[in-house]
Amino acid sequence: MIESDRELSNIVQQLWDNDQNRLTPGKDYRISLQGKAGDSMALNDDNDGAGYPLFSFVDENIFKKETFAAFISLLDNYVSDTGVPEIVTPEEEAENHKFLDSIIQTPTMQIAHKYLVQKKLSPKDQRDFKNQLYRIWFELYARRGSSKPDSSGFEHVFVGETRGGRTVIGFHNWIQLYLQEKLGHIDYKGYSVNANSPQPDENKHILALQFMWKDGIKPKGSIFIGVSPEFEFALYTLSFLSSAQERVKVQFSLYDVEIVCHHYAQKHIGTTYPMLIKYLTSPVSAQ
């Protein structure tokens, strides 16, 4: 177990500082927050606080980078409806391994791996570490109400799923959100705030929002925006392996955040995402 949230915050800050592929708000992408989404889960226009898409611009040259391209190749490998068994083809399995091979070489994943080895939470051998990542993220399991394996940590967190065709579960990734919005499959309904959360900022990297995907509603979701796939993979893997708690508080850059991480049978990630507590008045630096 981790010694303290401060220790984990220091590692997360190192991940942030070394996220070489992170996009810059206002330069590499622009979002349009518009209005606050309604509180109802009803599928009607009364809930709509946004008449335009969330993303007004993304420099898609970033998607040509190795980790982004490998990540995007995985997004069409899944059936969104829970209860429908997933079948992984040899080609899809090869794509999973190609993605892991690409991110393991990045500074963020190397920092995470070194820390986990020091804590005796991951094997030192890189091949064994990759196998551990595959088990955590890509091995299939049966979600609640399903009799056959129909889900994985990767599908739930990064791709998104639907339950009963009317409710969106998971779906905590900005790249998938952007690509699905570009295809016309996402209807952004506005940002989400409550009494304890700060007003969102178009130039910050964390956003709570509401949207429709296909015919289902995501009444409230929280995502990082503009970060690289390797940063999220490293952060969420650290949270999963370092703590049995479902919520871990960390501070990094300008953010005071809770990382929610639900374990499934202690072997897989059920879900994981960031919840912004507040913006910090000055940037945090790694100790």
- State which amino acid sits at residue 234: A
Residue 150 burial (CB count, 10 A) = 21
Handedness of CA 50, 277, 229, 73 (dihedral sign): negative
Report angle CA 78, 80, 81 to the nearest 5 degrees: 130
As beta bridge partners, residue 2 has none
Report angle CA 35, 41, 44 to the nearest 5 degrees: 70
Q: Please identify every residue annotated as catalytic.
A: 156, 172, 218
Radius of gyration of the chain (CA): 18
The SS3 assignment for 24 reads: coil
CA distance readout (Å), 110 to 130, 227, 267? 12, 17, 22
